[in-house]
Structure 1
Amino acid sequence: MMKKKPKGLLPALLLAVFFLNAPSGSGQDLPIDLIELPPGFEITVYARDLPGARSLALGSEGTVFVGTRSEGRVYAIRDGDGNGRIDAGEIFVIGSGLDLPNGVAFRDGSLYVAEVSRILRYDAIESHLDEPPDPVVVKDDLPSQRSHGWKFIAFGPDGKLYVPIGAPCNVCDPGDPYASITRMDPDGSNFEIFARGVRNTVGFDWHPDTAELWFTDNGRDWLGDDEPPDELNRAPVAGLHFGFPFCHAGIPDPVFGGSRGCGEFTDPEMNLGPHVAALGMRFYSGAAFPPAYRGGIFIAEHGSWNRADPIGYRVTFVRFEDGRATDYEIFAEGWLGGRVAWGRPVDVLVMPDGALLVSDDRAGAVYRISYRGSPGRLDPYAEEP
């Protein structure tokens, strides 16, 4: 069940004026004072002028790599003076004309970038941000369908690169390797399907204690405003099937559900909001936030595109007890006012100092959420007086 903190009225007209006058991705004069957070937290603009900022990955020398989609490039940003924001001269561009380079991952000094049908690798990248090397093609035979073809990628505790292959449709039965999460060795060899029945995941992470894979999944469209929910799933082992296209979070598909029952598939660990477009997610592994947040999951919800009343456009939090997801609540909101959204969160990243970065592809920015209060004195789940 979604827990919702009290929300003040946001002037939709003022947001509309902002949105009409600020070019998408400009990063200028962002109204971050509209963002509501729990007591003790604050949000600042970490980096601006990053059109299409999407997936995030952290290098070994503090560089944050930022994928894009239609912009066809990857950004590298580094807070060299440690002032908590990216200044002029601290933004670098890697590649140009790339094919939906949403996914970025870092390992052993190299940046991995996922295009629609290829995985590229930029070696010794943090030493060559001014003049990036030509990429090495790691794999070039992934499916080329562009519907749900942009990818989130990450290295697992097993040292393998995990790469989802989304369903090339709203709902269909396309067969392998579609609607899956695959994995491979860093050189592209030993490619295999890890999980099936995954319509479109654009974010996953591994539990810090159990090393189990958790991932978000976007539910199908056109079953109404309130069905099906997006999902938070857990894959403790390879070979599980999560239902698509036959079943959506326990709801049989009206076309494909007759052939296989929902009882055959792995249920979600948590139902998220319907059509919220749950994308990037990370376990909170830092120590700067109050204890109640540690070990939980932050999720970037990009926001609905076809719901009568828009929903999402926020960062949510899933709390854990005894290793299981128990509560789902709003953590940061204010990018949506009425029917007007000036920003769309895409990914989250926990930094070494415990701050949380949030990317926004509509505003072309990355935000930094930090905690100023005393972790020992604030109960973030207590009712506000």
Structure 2
Amino acid sequence: MSSRFLILFCGALVAFGISGCGAPHSPMTLALVTQPTRKNSLVKATSAKVSAAHQRIVRVEEVPNRVVTQSGLSVPRGFGVQLLAENLFVPRRMTFAPGATASQYDVFLSESKADRVSVLRVRKGRVVSKATFTREVSQPYGLAFWNNWLYVGNTDSVVRFPYRRGTVKAAGGAQRIAGLTKGGYNQHWTRNLLFDRSGKKLFVTVGSSCNSCEESSPQRAAISEMNPDGSARRVFASGFRNPVGLAWQPNTNNLWTVVNERDKLGDNVPPDYLTVVRQGAFYGWPYAYTDIERRIHADPNFGARRPDKVSETRVATVPVQAHSAALGVAFYPVQGGNFPKDYWGNAFLSFHGSWNRSEKTGYKVVRVHFQNGQPTRITDFVQGFLRRGRSWGRPVDVQIAPDGSMLFSDDSGGKIWRVFYIGK
């Protein structure tokens, strides 16, 4: 089996009921774990150091038939890359306004450091105008539409603005519906938002206040849910060091998130991850983590304090390379769209890139292949931001546009990129 594949050892695959390790060219697969962690998958840490044997790299399969576009970014053959917008001020999260069509749609964008929500009107794949929707925000990140409101995740609150379809200016001032804890380790300030499909619940992500600690607020390192007016707020799932991206898997009720794991345990430990989110589940932080073999490890500094929480930890669905800083996740529709059929129902992850790893990693967009609703492997999709150890762009959010193309934001470059299929 090629070392280019995502490393998942045969013992772990067998433990989770996956076959195919014996053949040298069998495809690597990832099992969707829906049961609590098994005792034989727990590896106890006995010191603050992680063994060298555990410091393995999560590799992503390379797509051999790639092309380098004029932008300098490489994509699989048949795809093109377009610079959709530039000269933006730290563009982060994107969403699309109601009433979008394939020929025209409005991209609502949080320009976080500018304390601004902007609107890019896209017509036939080109930005024809830019407007400021509101400046009545504070480090905005998450954006979500529901029932003539635009909801915004400030670093310290969830607010909403009245919205009239087709307009690019807020129809009124901010209405605060919930306060959020702010501040913390290494700028864990992002607050992402996503409604369920019925519009009855709003999900909100809040990262930890530290790298590793026992939080005093249950809102931190968790995904909470609330009613659209901010009432009936509760923690939906916890144990996420820094959950950011949120997405619903097509044709399911599965909520997924991408999580940035803890620092200071090594270049390759613990992996960041993509995971399905189950109500009431605990995902490990700060007491435990999932390794690349999808086994649970007790954290060397905090695991001994709460062995019950270590045992309770749910295995993350798809581990990815540590320090990739996975921030965005989007699923391609299961039918229609611009991409070929084998992309339908797949997920795309944006890797912002490492800041404290000895050798840089990330700075790209990857594709998580799904088959029968379950993830099977990971391949590179957009590459090229990292050259000879230096980066010139950092992907943040990824979204599938109404015309079937893929958009992703680049906060360090101040740009929005568009990836589209042009045929073989």
TM-score (norm 2): 0.78
Counterpart for residue 113 of structure 2: 70
One-letter amino acid matched to 1:266: R
- 1:46 corresponds to 2:47: no
Q: Distance in 1 between matches of 2:207 and 2:220?
A: 6
Query: 1:127, CA displacement in angstroms?
Result: 4.7
**Does the 8 Å contact 1:152/1:163 carry over to 2?**
yes
Residue number among 163, 176, 197 corresponding to 2:204 in the alignment: 163
**Does the 8 Å contact 2:394/2:410 carry over to 1?**
yes
SS of residue in 2 equivalent to 1:67: strand
- 1:185 corresponds to 2:227: yes
Say which is worse superposed, 113-122 or 303-312, in terms of deviation: 113-122
Q: Distance in 1 between matches of 2:316 and 2:269?
A: 14
Q: Distance in 2 between matches of 1:264 and 1:278?
A: 24
**Does the 8 Å contact 2:65/2:76 carry over to 1?**
no
Query: 1:130, CA displacement in angstroms?
Result: 4.4
SS of residue in 1 equivalent to 2:131: strand
One-letter amino acid matched to 1:54: R
SS of residue in 2 equivalent to 1:151: coil
One-letter amino acid matched to 2:127: I
Task: Give runs of aligned pairs for residues 1-385 of structure 1, distance below 5 A.
Answer: 1=6, 2-6=60-64, 33-61=71-99, 62-79=105-122, 82-87=123-128, 90-96=129-135, 98-130=137-169, 133-139=172-178, 141-147=179-185, 148-159=188-199, 160-175=201-216, 176-235=218-277, 237-249=278-290, 250-258=296-304, 259-260=306-307, 262-285=310-333, 286-373=336-423
RMSD across aligned positions (CA):
2.0
Query: 1:131, CA displacement in angstroms?
Result: 6.2
**Does the 8 Å contact 2:407/2:417 carry over to 1?**
yes
Q: Distance in 1 between matches of 2:233 and 2:421?
A: 41
Q: Distance in 2 between matches of 1:162 and 1:199?
A: 17
Q: Distance in 1 between matches of 2:170 and 2:269?
A: 48
One-letter amino acid matched to 2:107: V
SS of residue in 2 equivalent to 1:145: coil
**Does the 8 Å contact 2:184/2:208 carry over to 1?**
no
Aligned length: 348
Give the 3 Å change call, closer, same or farther, for CA 146–102 of structure 1 in structure 2: farther
Query: 1:95, CA displacement in angstroms?
Result: 2.7
Counterpart for residue 18 of structure 1: none
One-letter amino acid matched to 1:255: N
SS of residue in 2 equivalent to 1:203: strand
Query: 1:69, CA displacement in angstroms?
Result: 2.5
Q: Can you give the 5+ residue segments of structure 1 that lack an aligned partner in the other structure?
A: 11-30, 375-385
Percent pairwise identity: 34
Residue by residue over 1:307-365, the C-alpha shift from the partner in whole angstroms, topping out at 9 and shown as x without a partner, is 11111000001111222111011111111112211111001111122111111111111
One-letter amino acid matched to 1:78: R
